[in-house]
Amino acid sequence: MSKKPVSILVVVVAAVAVVVVLWLRENIATRKDEAKQLVFRIVNLTEQTANPAEWGKNFPRQYDGYRRASERTGTKYGGGGSETLATDKLAQDPRLKTIFAGYAFSVDYRARRGHAYMLSDQRETKRVQLPFHQTGACLQCHASNATVYRKKGLENGAPGTLEDPPVSVNGYAQLLKGFEKIGTMPYDEATKLVEYPVACVDCHDPQSMQLRVTRPAFLMGIRTLASSNEPTPQLPSIEKWRTGDRAEPYDPNVLASRQEMRSMLCGQCHVEYYCGPKATLFYPWNNGMKVEEIESYYNSYKFADGQRFFDWKHASGGAPALKAQHPEFEMWSQGVHARSGVACADCHMPYQREGAIKISDHWVRSPLLNVANACQVCHHFTESEIKARVDIIQERNHNLLGRAEDAVVDLINAIAGAQAAGVKDDQLQTARELQRSAQWRVDFVSSENSMGFHAPQEASRILGEAIDMARKGQLEVLLRK
């Protein structure tokens, strides 16, 4: 081969290489610029911008995900229902009518749907309609309420203005005062004050987009937990605060890490709390977050009228019963994911890429509907294998839950039968206390929306105790006949 063709070939190859390098350089530069475009400054967002659609103009990617929460989704043990009505739990499990006899949940009890329905589903449930008399406290976890609380607080003498950051002395005072006032209003009046389900302003600073906690009950509850002696390895900022002088109360908006906030924001609503007319809504974390620690606090609590704490008197035997809400945050805190530093958002709002941009997926849903992003980032198994492992955990928990419910129903029927046979009330007090404890544990697991997955061993422990207590209650009734 002559030198001339070789030289031409070298030149061509070099030219192509230069073109490729320049193209790659341009592509990389374009992607870097694209990655900087996290926000489009279309509208000016303020603390009073409650409408998520307005936020969506500046954050279209996140808003696209947020809107998808209105899509009907479901897994084997969660979600489902129709486009207009959530799944009826009472129809699925008739034992619940006996367990909640005399309480609003025996009339209407439905499975949760996406965040888009959290306000509308509450407004439509029979539990907030006559003959029941619910208060505005129910809105703590079912509406975008940060701005509404602050406005009501200012109307009732809280210091400052709406220009104050919520995360400030004045902002906190406004939130708390409004929370207290709206919490005492009749539900049908209070619900007129809110317009949206959970919204962007509840979780983000409109200028910096920093995560923040705005629900007053959580702010008070997490301070109470921090002041307790209960270990909190899942929340290291609390452990660190405890080693200091504690001159200022624990404040998650100041002290919590971003990773902790990615769970605390969910823990504002997905928790156990008292929500009734006899006291301001509170989280019972004074002794810790385990089921028996919460129970012990309820057992020591007295209402203003001097009565012991209970949610309602059971219609079939008179036990002073407890009703769990939705203690996902408490159950998560006892699981291996929490101990490993995994936040709620890591699984339910996992990071996703759109081009060069990395964002949290704002379509909040079950990880089982998004295994690739939610699970396989850490667990390097096939999707079918991961789902099979989850199914084993949930199926076993579901079966054990059924046995626990059977035991509680048997105890309820035994107490009712003893009463009908003429056994005196004072002779049934021990059995009623065992019903209270067993039923509380069953409900704690049943109303927690992971079907045991958040902490499988803890869920099994709780249900085992429930079965034991219920069967002991039956023996107690037999001894009194």
What is the rounded CA–CA span in Å between residue 98 and residue 89? Answer: 13
Mean pLDDT of the chain: 91
Cβ-in-10-Å burial (0-12, 13-18, 19+) of 76 comes to middle
String of b and e for 152-178 (b: at least 16 CB within 10 Å)?
bbbeeebebebebbbbeebbbbbbbbb
Give burial (CB, 10 Å; 0-12/13-18/19+) of 230. middle
Q: Is 160 left (phi over 0), alpha (psi -120 to 50) or beta?
A: left
Task: Kindly provide the residue ranges of all beta strands, DSSP E only, lying in 152-290, ordered along the sequence.
Answer: 274-276, 279-282
Output the pLDDT for position 356: 81
Length of the chain: 481
Cβ pair 57, 66 in contact under 8 A = no
Write out the DSSP string of 294-336.
Answer: HHHHHHH-B-TTSPBP-SEE-TTT--EE------HHHHHTTSH
Instruction: Report pLDDT digits (tens) over 153-195.
Output: 999 999 999 989 899 999 999 999 999 999 999 999 999 999 9
Measured CA to CA, the distance from residue 279 to residue 180 in angstroms comes to 10
Pairing of strands 279-282, 274-276: antiparallel
DSSP state of 184: T
Confidence band, pLDDT 50/70/90 cuts, at residue 8: confident
Residue with tokens 């989704």: 73
Name the one residue in this structure whose structure tokens are 């694209």: 34
- With b for 16 or more beta-carbon neighbours within 10 A and e for fewer, the 233-255 pattern comes to ebbebbeebeeeeeeeebbbbeb
Q: Which residues, 6+ apart, have CB-to-CB distance to 385 below 8 Å?
A: none
Backbone angles phi, psi at 108, to 5 degrees: -150, 120
Domain 367-480 bears CATH identifier 1.20.140.10 = yes
pLDDT tens track for 62-108? 999 999 999 888 888 887 655 667 889 999 999 999 999 999 999 99
Residue 252 has pLDDT above 50, yes or no: yes
Report yes or no: 374 and 349 within 8 Å, Cβ to Cβ: no
The confidence score (pLDDT) of residue 34 equals 46
Contact 368, 390 (CB under 8 A): yes
High-pLDDT (> 70) share of the chain, % = 91
DSSP 59-119: -HHHHHHHHGGGS--EETTEE---SSS--BHHHH-THHHHHTTTSGGGT--B----GGGHH
Question: φ and ψ at 276, to 5 degrees?
Answer: -155, 180
Q: What is the pLDDT of residue 31?
A: 47
C-alpha Rg value of the chain to the nearest Å: 27
For the chain, the first-to-last Cα distance in angstroms comes to 112
Tokens of 22: 């320049």
Q: What is the pLDDT of residue 233?
A: 96
Per-residue pLDDT of 16-70, as tens digits, reads: 666 666 666 665 555 454 445 556 788 999 999 999 999 999 999 999 999 999 9
Residue 276, pLDDT above cutoff 80: yes
Of 269, 271, 236, residue with least CA distance to 255: 236
Residues linked to residue 279 through DSSP beta bridges, in sequence order: 276
Question: What totals of helices (H) and strands (E) does the chain contain, helices first?
Answer: 22, 8
Q: pLDDT tens across 125-145, in order?
A: 999 999 999 999 999 999 999
Residues 6+ apart with CB under 8 A from 2: none
Question: Using CA atoms, how far apart are residues 219 and 282, in angstroms rounded to an integer?
Answer: 10
Least confident of 75-89, 162-176, 262-276, 332-346: 75-89
The per-residue pLDDT for 374 is 96
Q: What CATH number was assigned to the domain covering residues 52-336?
A: 1.10.1130.10
79 bridge partner residues: 74
Q: How many CB atoms lie within 10 A of CB 460?
A: 17
Contacts of 221 (CB under 8 A, 6+ apart): 271, 273, 282, 283, 285
Domain layout of the chain by residue ranges: 52-336, 367-480
Q: According to the model, what pLDDT value does residue 9 have?
A: 67
411 has a pLDDT exceeding 50: yes
